[in-house]
Structure 1
Amino acid sequence: YRGIVLFPWHARIYDRDVIPPMSDSKPEPPGSHGSKEVKGKTHTYYQVLIDTRDCPHISQRSQTEAVTFLANHDDSRALYAIPGLDYVSHEDILPYNSTEQVPIQHELFERFLMFNPDKTTPAPPFSARDTLKAWQEKNHPWLELSDVHRETTENIRVTVIPFYMGMRDAQNSHVYWWRYCIRLENMGSEVVQLRERHWRIFSLSGTLETVRGRGVVGREPVLSKEQPAFQYSSHVSLQAPSGHMWGTFRIERTDGSHFDVRIPPFSLESNKDDKAPPAGYTF
């Protein structure tokens, strides 16, 4: 899709496909669900606005990509979303320069950026408005991308990016919320289909929850050479400030046989200086 970069994030990628040297590796304790120690590497991601004209053509997304926030205490909705806001890895961007004064269509484009041509530099002719800087500063804790987890099983790569959303009071207890973005990529040539999900969700309070179900977000996506990737977002809440999740996806081959793809374990951490989540995206 066409898009425009708002600002970068420097994330730590924990790639479980990168084997550490023998001197660094440690034996796994029993029942550790494959929790080998993985060292993170810094990698650049970007916060981008999606051109709304391209949204209908992004077929391998579960929905138009959006960033969700916790709503106000007095709001009847638990969540609200800013559609057309995405996180993109550096290697997934193809740069181009547009000569148009409004190069993409998005309701926030003209609120965030202004046309400011400078013939002395080849840089794009746009500069950030004060509203973008204020919005970025205000929403930083809820937008921040810090950890990316990745693992490949039989040519199916699963990438997970968790985001802390904040805490809410509910029936005399604290409820902590996270959203997580999952991307599945078929790195091979065989056509496969995602059939089931199996999650394990551990809370610091000591509870271990198992979640099983058909597909993901109401879809059973096919991953082929023509459409090799599928991406979706979901949410999880715990009655504890931290925990972790892991699991598997059941994948079906064209001959009807199945195999399980590992979802890399990832931590659910809350911000220590927990503030109230943003009250809408007002300016």
Structure 2
Amino acid sequence: MDVLFICLRNQLLPIVSRALTSRRSYVRLAEVGRLEQPKLSGKYETGQLILHRVFGYRGVVLFPWLARVYDRDLPHHRDGDEEPSPGVGKEVRGRTHTFYQVLIDQRDCPYIRAQTESVTFLGNQESSRSLYAIPGLDYVAHEDIIPYVSAEKTPLNHELFDKFLMPNPKGDPPFVAQETLKAWQNKNHPWLELSDVHKETTENIRVTVIPFYMGCRESHANSVYWWRYCIRLENLGSLSVQLRERHWRIFSLSGTLETVRGRGVVGQEPALTRTLPAFQYSSHVSLQAPSGHMWGTFRMEREDGYTFDCRIPPFSLESKPEGGPATPPDTV
């Protein structure tokens, strides 16, 4: 096994792992920089270099978002109560939390258990609707960021890095936004905006769902509204668990209820182990109505043979007014 580590302040952080055809096994170390103290308050600025706490990839912050997090694992309070109220658990209120949109280092993309083309939207170009995929973008919660200072001349490999960022003469953060990044953010805001995050844990398996509105395709016959949703599964327990099946229910404001069953997700049946405890993927859904809801379960199988249904927290699919044409990053 050839394993690349990040060597920072005498800490070894595994980044990538891949099998070798050779029978020999060895460890290759590469120093890429030094860790900084994570921020317990405030937020990270555009241009901050980061490591992802769960997936281990290198990245850089583009800009922060404020999202409403609906966490079904937290105790719920009535207004004015300091302690959780008995019997109050059905109403889940969103709590504001900071997330960041980051560029992922393309050298790490083949080795992380997360889709790296997770950001898509319908762009309106010359009255036509095309689907754009922006490679190597991710949304990262504040607590999953480990800031660091790079020791490399080229700290991040990504096709948009030099287009969006330039060195900061003051050095903190090491990079600042170029006008192209600001313009791109403003033009594509409805398609990039992170607004709601949903979390729920079953049998030590935490499921996080982030829905995004992509846009609407209109024809003479009907209008079709599209969303993408990003799902992250984390094993918080000590026993390995494998995802075997998915079961979705999709309700549309038009009155239809669709049931979807199938093996695995995105063609895989990922195992969540002690060494690889997380898996993230994204998919898309369309409705012939401007809003709806999705919920469901994942059938999980533990290493001791025990099977259980892991709840997917219900989330809303809400459309947004489209204030003008979106522009993909290669045309900014």
Using the size of structure 1 for normalisation, the TM-score is: 0.89
Amino acid at match of 1:243: G
**1:147 CA displacement:** 0.5
Find the partner of 1:5 among 61, 64, 73: 61
- 2:44 corresponds in structure 1 to none
Find the partner of 1:16 among 72, 86, 89: 72
Tell me if structure 2 keeps the 8 A contact 1:10–1:44: yes
Amino acid at match of 1:107: E
Find the partner of 1:113 among 152, 165, 170: 165
Q: Quick one: higher RCO (CA 8 Å, sep 6+), 1 or 2?
A: 1
Instruction: Show CA shifts across 1:155-184 (max 9, x none).
Output: 000000000111111352111110000000
> Given the superposition, is the C-alpha separation of residues 139 and 223 from structure 1 closer, same or farther in structure 2, using an over 3 Å criterion?
same
Amino acid at match of 2:311: R
**1:26 CA displacement:** 9.8
- 1:147 corresponds in structure 2 to 196
**1:72 CA displacement:** 4.5
Instruction: Show CA shifts across 1:201-248 (max 9, x none).
Output: 000011000000000000000001111100000000101010010000
Question: Any residues of structure 2 matched to 1:26-65 within 5 Å, and which?
Answer: 36-58=90-112, 60-61=113-114, 63-65=115-117
- CA–CA distance in structure 1, aligned partners of residues 244 and 255 of structure 2: 30
- 1:275 corresponds in structure 2 to 323
**1:256 CA displacement:** 2.8
- CA–CA distance in structure 2, aligned partners of residues 57 and 189 of structure 1: 23
3-state SS of the aligned residue for 2:286?
A: strand
Amino acid at match of 1:57: Y
Instruction: Show CA shifts across 1:44-100 (max 9, x none).
Output: 100100011111221x22x32431112447799952211101111111111001254
Tell me if structure 1 keeps the 8 A contact 2:118–2:230: no
TM-align CA RMSD: 2.3
- 2:289 corresponds in structure 1 to 240
Tell me if structure 2 keeps the 8 A contact 1:202–1:209: yes
User: Structure 1: where are the runs of 5+ without partners?
Assistant: 29-34
- CA–CA distance in structure 2, aligned partners of residues 280 and 257 of structure 1: 46
- CA–CA distance in structure 2, aligned partners of residues 210 and 78 of structure 1: 28
3-state SS of the aligned residue for 2:183?
A: helix
Q: Percent identity?
A: 72
Using the size of structure 2 for normalisation, the TM-score is: 0.76
**1:7 CA displacement:** 0.4
Tell me if structure 2 keeps the 8 A contact 1:26–1:36: no
- CA–CA distance in structure 2, aligned partners of residues 77 and 251 of structure 1: 38
Deviates more, 1:185-194 or 1:91-100: 91-100
- CA–CA distance in structure 2, aligned partners of residues 245 and 26 of structure 1: 28
- CA–CA distance in structure 2, aligned partners of residues 209 and 277 of structure 1: 31
3-state SS of the aligned residue for 1:103?
A: coil
- 1:94 corresponds in structure 2 to 146
- 2:39 corresponds in structure 1 to none
- The count of aligned residue pairs is 271
Tell me if structure 2 keeps the 8 A contact 1:197–1:212: yes
